[in-house]
Amino acid sequence: MSVAAPNWRERASVIRPDGRAWIDGRPVNAASGATFEDCSAIDGRAITAVAAGDAADVDVAVAAARRAFESGDWSRAPLRERKRVLRRFAELVAQQRDELALLETLDVGKPIRESLAVDVPGAARCIEWFAETVDKQYGEIAPTDPGSIALITREPLGVVGAVVPWNYPLIISAWKIAPALAAGNSVVLKPAEQSPLTALVLARLATEAGLPDGVLNVVPGFGPTAGAALGRHLDVDKIAFTGSGEVGRHFLAYAGESNMKSVSLECGGKSPQVIFADAPDLDAAAACVALGIFYNQGETCNAGSRLLVDHRIADDFTAAVAREGEALQLGDPLDPTTAVGALVDRDQFERVSRYVQLGITEGAHVVSGGARVREDLGGYYFAPTVLAGATNAMRVAREEIFGPVLVSIPFSDEAEAVALANDSEFGLAAGVWTADLRRAHRVAAALRVGTVWVNTFDASDVTTPFGGMKRSGFGRDRSVHALEEYSQLKTTWLDLH
Ligand code: ADP
């Protein structure tokens, strides 16, 4: 029996998401009663009214989180039980795939096929994986002198504030809440104002899975109100943030001005793709480089946005990447064959347009794209864009555009390639393309970035840490190392005499 493929347009027209905040195990309006209109990136149409949380709501959520933490219902629950609830949570996320994927696509404008194949399963797998870590973490015994025994154990921090961006709302929320909950913390999650809907569903599903009330709260709202209130809160023990460098700096300042809460930051990048002429398959590399920048409309922290390419092959390779970009099907995100969807909103469109104009003013030229397309769809669709004739000194090569714009820069030898790649204030990720194993290791070791991909790009798994060096931030999402971000060490010293 064949099941008809879902008609996503039809489903989108009838879905009525709940925009209320989720505090202490139930949906609530903002204390002020204020709401904001959540509009779809696809066509700008209003999806629903969402609670505009502010400092008062953050206070209520943090108090609920603290109460839950102190009760021990989660923080001191038997580990088997914590694991069981988180596993169930992961199952529910996977089961709600269609609803979550549709809401993600409506909010963000990303293709439904990616929301279905990547975002929802990625979030479910992340939660499941961290569930499995719950009863597999051991403490240590320090090598002190005989006559004493010193235990080194890990404890949860308490109340964690997670503040996330709009480009991968589900996945990045899961990267933060899964290890935070696995470690026994309570969480207050503040989704981006552009994309609050899937976070609210996550909270509902967590409660359905058996997470005690107050352990996971979601307060939608704006950065300078709800976000800042969380950052400045005296009873929040940690902020886990992903977003812009500018806001990352705010969180460091908030922590300094309030209770010195710990902070981890992932603040984007300007990731280089370093293409040596001996790359094993230049055609395959060009296709991968195109996806590395145009996937998710270029709205990806680790997007490979700087193409550094051996000058002998620079023109041909850049042209090949441009062709690959043009071949990607751009259009209605609800069409399952669409590969490139809409930019998240008008602000983002204006930012991308400004940068393309700036690149031209700086002396680069447009090889492909460079303009808004498909105005008939109602949202902001931007053609995959390649700029060539650029130098690494140009602002388009130095600043994060966060859109489908690749800047191509030639290099003459390995030393120059490494120098250019490292000549950036960011250090999130890089790609290196070469068939020479020794060169691959040499260059990977020389790059000051959190992740180096060799002959691939954006391969990602919950088992590997993700995060940056330099102004891309500090701290890591994913892998057992993420648990270190959500726990603290305690030494218990026993005298045996
Ligand atoms: P992006 O550039 O991806 O939109 P932002 O850094 O502006 O990233 O936003 C990321 C998150 O930070 C969002 O949840 C946003 O609401 C929040 N935010 C924005 N401004 C502030 C602020 N001044 N204080 C606290 N949080 C903020």
Name the residue ranges covered by the structural domains of the chain.
8-267+472-491, 272-461
- What's the rounded Cα separation, in Å, for the pair 396 and 424? 12
Give the N- to C-terminal CA distance of the chain in Å, as an integer.
74
Return all residues near 452 (Cβ < 8 A) that are at least 6 apart: 429, 430, 431, 432, 443, 444
pLDDT at 3 over 70: no
Please tell me if the CB atom of residue 223 comes closer than 6 angstroms to any atom of ligand 1: yes
CATH of 8-267+472-491, one of 1.10.3860.10, 3.40.50.300, 3.40.605.10, 3.40.50.720: 3.40.605.10
Q: Which atom of ligand 1 is nearest to the CA of 221?
A: 16
Please tell me if the CB atom of residue 231 comes closer than 6 angstroms to any atom of ligand 1: yes
Please tell me if the CB atom of residue 192 comes closer than 6 angstroms to any atom of ligand 1: yes
Percent of the chain scoring above 90 in pLDDT: 99
272-461: CATH topology: Aldehyde Dehydrogenase; Chain A, domain 2 (3.40.309)
Please tell me if the CB atom of residue 165 comes closer than 6 angstroms to any atom of ligand 1: yes
- Ligand 1 atom 8: the closest Cα is on which residue? 243
Q: Which atom of ligand 1 is nearest to the CA of 231?
A: 25
pLDDT, one tens digit per residue, over 435-484 is 999 999 999 999 999 999 999 999 999 999 999 999 999 999 999 999 99
Phi, psi (degrees; rounded to nearest 5) at 243:
165, -150
Q: Which atom of ligand 1 is nearest to the CA of 166?
A: 3
- What's the rounded Cα separation, in Å, for the pair 222 and 153? 37
Catalytically active residues, by annotation: 266, 301
Stretch 397-417: mean pLDDT: 98
Q: What is the pTM of this model?
A: 0.98
483 CA → ligand 1 middle, Å: 24
Stretch 198-216: mean pLDDT: 98
Please tell me if the CB atom of residue 224 comes closer than 6 angstroms to any atom of ligand 1: yes
pLDDT at 253 over 80: yes
Please tell me if the CB atom of residue 58 comes closer than 6 angstroms to any atom of ligand 1: no
Please tell me if the CB atom of residue 163 comes closer than 6 angstroms to any atom of ligand 1: yes
Q: What is the pLDDT at residue 4?
A: 73
- What's the rounded Cα separation, in Å, for the pair 29 and 216? 17
Q: Cβ(380)–Cβ(297) under 8 Å?
A: no
Q: Which residues pair with 307 in a beta bridge?
A: 273, 408
187 CA → ligand 1 middle, Å: 18
Average pLDDT value for the chain: 98
Q: What is the pLDDT at residue 2?
A: 55
pLDDT at 5 over 80: no
Indicate the SS3 state at residue 144: coil
pLDDT at 60 over 60: yes
Please tell me if the CB atom of residue 247 comes closer than 6 angstroms to any atom of ligand 1: yes
pLDDT band at residue 6 using 50, 70 and 90 as cut-offs? confident
**Which of 172, 247, 266 to mutate to test ligand 1, by most ligand atoms within 8 A of the CB atom?**
247
440 CA → ligand 1 middle, Å: 36
- Ligand 1 atom 21: the closest Cα is on which residue? 223
List for the chain the helix, strand, coil content (%; round to 5).
40, 20, 35
pLDDT, one tens digit per residue, over 169-199 is 999 999 999 999 999 999 999 999 999 999 9
pLDDT band at residue 292 using 50, 70 and 90 as cut-offs? very high
Please tell me if the CB atom of residue 228 comes closer than 6 angstroms to any atom of ligand 1: yes
163 CA → ligand 1 middle, Å: 8
- What's the rounded Cα separation, in Å, for the pair 408 and 365? 10
Q: What is the pLDDT at residue 88?
A: 99
Return all residues near 232 (Cβ < 8 A) that are at least 6 apart: 254, 257, 258
- Ligand 1 atom 7: the closest Cα is on which residue? 244
Stretch 361-387: mean pLDDT: 98
State the amino acid at position 156 in one-letter form: P
Q: Which atom of ligand 1 is nearest to the CA of 230?
A: 25
Q: Which atom of ligand 1 is nearest to the CA of 299?
A: 3
Percent of the chain scoring above 70 in pLDDT: 99
